[in-house]
Amino acid sequence: MQVTVTYQKSLVLQALRYHFISRREIKLMIILVNVFTTVAAVLFYFKKVTPLAFFISFLLWVVLMLAFWRWLPAAIYKKSLTFQERFIVSLEENHFFIESERGTKTWAWREFSEMIETPHFFHLYFNPRSFFLLPKDAFGDTDSIHEARVLLRSKIGKDKKV
């Protein structure tokens, strides 16, 4: 199966958000900051802390949300040349091929550790921090997307659907 891949910025940013929010350490940090901010709000309501303490906890919450929702995905999108390129992806029996103007790259299926499916992408992970985004719209119709899904699930170990 061979497809031509191009990326839409808004969809890539959404996929990067899925990636960051799905990481266990980031989920834990967000939960802790939310609990801390909620406790600060309750203590502020009962006049147990100063307005400055509440403001600082709220500011920490805002900065954390902006970092994971806006700044980090935008920085990665801007830094990665992959998202500005157009290339051909071939899904074959034993390998995953990419071909662009800059060259070609081949991976054996065993090099991928897991696949996560989100509304617009297949996230093909090499390790917890390194992955390849394969847009579903490159496959065209739903039958081709389903065929790619079946192939990817059969070739890549773990699979989660978000």
pLDDT by residue for the chain (162 residues), tens digit each? 889 999 999 999 999 998 888 888 888 988 888 888 888 889 989 999 888 888 888 888 899 888 888 999 999 999 988 888 899 999 998 899 999 888 899 999 999 999 989 999 999 999 888 899 999 999 988 899 999 999 999 999 755 555
3-state secondary structure the chain: CEEEECCCHHHHHHHHHHHHHHCHHHHHHHHHHHHHHHHHHHHHHCCCCCHHHHHHHHHHHHHHHHHHHHHHHHHHHHHCHHHHCCEEEEECCCEEEEEECCEEEEEEHHHCCEEEECCCEEEEEEECCEEEEEEHHHHCCHHHHHHHHHHHHHHCCEEEEC
* pTM score, whole prediction: 0.80
